[in-house]
Amino acid sequence: MPEASCDVLVIGGGPGGSTAASLLAQKGYRVVLLEKAHHPRFHIGESLLPANLPILERLGVAAPVRAIGMEKWGAEFVSPGDGRRQEFTFARAWDKSMPLAYQVRRSEFDEILVRRAAQLGAQVIEGCRVQGVDFPDGSASGTARRVRVHAEHDDGRNETWTADYVIDASGRDTFLGNRLQVKHRNKKHNSAALYAHFIGAQRECGKREGNVTIYWFDHGWFWFIPLADGTTSIGAVVWPYYMKRRRTSVCEFFLATVALCPPLAERLRTATLVSEVEATGNYSYTCDHSHGANYLLVGDAYTFVDPVFSSGVMLAMNSAVAAADAIDTCLTQPARSRAALKEFDRVSRHGPKQFTWFIYRVSHPTMRELFLDPRNVLRMEEALLSLLAGDIFGRTPIWGRLRLFKAMYYMLAFAKLPRSFRAWRSRSANIRVETGA
């Protein structure tokens, strides 16, 4: 069959892929987006951050997202055992201009974004799975520009495109990461997840109704995410050793896991499970690099650690913005290509780096104490709230305060050295356990 041609081919129609396709199409480039499924399709990761909103405005989808979203004014953390809770509101962050975000059903949210990409001129092809990518000269790191992408449609037809650049926004499929053998398990973190949707869960009142709630428990943590249609997303992120204990069905194991967290179990006492229970393992990974001479890895296709701070969609969309800017520079100002890709790499690494320090320690007893008894000494709480809001790419001057927060964490951990050592030893043993989906 004759080959089709485009400037940029995007693999994946999630938030990252749709954002990149929209922005490049706006600039007049010929963009093809291939999505293996058909929208609307189920996806987990329903909680947005305030830092998502400026990108939604830029894409022209703020109003439709607002229409499907549950307002999210903050987050709550609940301790194991005693049920103590602490609420963090985004309005108290350093920058007061981003006081809220949204909880969204991802099937609806992702469809809004991919349809917007089509409206702006991208050719969106659903039910089309990429099968292979041929880089020029047989090398993904070569300097030649055209890439050949092979895909298969649902009806069995095969089609090939040539493109100047490929954006891998395939999410946890990590298409290029696997094909190029650059994806590796994160040696500093390891977790697995179980999740499902319920109807009839007990909710808070007023502005707190849409808060995401994080429940710590002995084997990891739970999320509680209220959606606008009355559904609540519940998930358990657990250490792999716990997942390996499963001897029953995934559904029975998940419900038994919920029962281990009394505060959460109480909120679900009269709720009804309305979806299949999903499970996934090998949850944390990264790729060796974020780009090559003619490809870029966006969002989860590049790296994923843990969803505890709801950063996934924000990081994916932000890296997609950076990818679109980099490709635009490469195509219009080839002499600046190296600098543009270097800036994309900096942005891609910066976001995950800022969250991972906290993710690696979020289950440590010292971090729990700090989260459950926050103090705005020297505006440290405001800086932490800015991080939780995703305000990490602008000019908000939070970095000195976050360094002070980290220093305070280390001092408090050292003050209770035996407890800290036990926690470190337990975590080290946990992350060495392997598990499958």
254-280 confidence digits (pLDDT tens): 999 999 999 999 999 999 999 999 998
Q: Are residues 317 and 168 in the same domain?
A: yes
Q: Are residues 165 and 122 in the same domain?
A: yes
Q: Are residues 28 and 50 in the same domain?
A: yes
Q: What is the domain extent for residue 9? A: 4-69+104-184+287-353
Q: Are residues 151 and 60 in the same domain?
A: yes
Q: What is the largest CA-CA distance in the chain?
A: 69
Q: Are residues 321 and 244 in the same domain?
A: no
Can you give the pLDDT at residue 433?
72
Q: Are residues 12 and 127 in the same domain?
A: yes
Can you give the pLDDT at residue 401?
97
Q: Are residues 17 and 109 in the same domain?
A: yes
Q: Out of 334, 353, 372, pick the residue that ends a domain.
A: 353
Can you give the pLDDT at residue 437?
43
Q: Are residues 170 and 65 in the same domain?
A: yes
What CATH number does residue 279 fall under?
A: 3.30.9.100
Determine phi and psi for 113, rounding to 5 degrees.
Answer: -70, -45
Can you give the pLDDT at residue 282?
66
Q: Are residues 83 and 201 in the same domain?
A: yes
Q: Is residue 358 part of a domain?
A: no
Residues lower than pLDDT 50 in the chain: 138-139, 142-144, 436-437
C-alpha angle 85/90/96, rounded to 5°? 150
- With 0.75 as the threshold, say if the pTM is over it: yes
What CATH number does residue 55 fall under?
A: 3.50.50.60
C-alpha angle 52/354/51, rounded to 5°? 10
Q: For the CA atoms of 76, 304, 58, 41, what is the dihedral angle to 10 degrees?
A: -90
Q: Are 177 and 21 in contact (CB under 8 A)?
A: no
Can you give the pLDDT at residue 142?
45
Tens of pLDDT, residues 204-239: 999 999 999 999 999 999 999 999 999 999 999 999
The secondary structure of the chain, three-state, reads CCCEEEEEEEECCCHHHHHHHHHHHHCCCCEEEEECCCCCCCCCCCECCCCHHHHHHHHCCHHHHHHHCEEECEEEEECCCCCCEEEEEHHHCCCCCCCCEEECCHHHHHHHHHHHHHHCCCEEEECEEEEEEECHHHCCCCCCCCEEEEEEECCCCEEEEEEEEEEECCHHHCHHHHHCCCEEECCCCCCEEEEEEEECCCCCCHHHHHCEEEEEECCEEEEEEECCCCEEEEEEEECHHHHCCCCCCHHHHHHHHHCCCHHHHHHCCCCEECCCCEEECCCCEEECCCECCCEEECHHHCEECCCCCCCHHHHHHHHHHHHHHHHHHHHHCHHHHHHHHHHHHHHHHHHHHHHHHHHHHCCCHHHHHHHHCCCCHHHHHHHHHHHHCCCCCCCCCCHHHHHHHHHHHHHHHHHCHHHHHHHHHHHHHHHCCCCCC
Q: Are residues 201 and 252 in the same domain?
A: yes
Domain count, the chain: 2
Q: Is residue 249 part of a domain?
A: yes
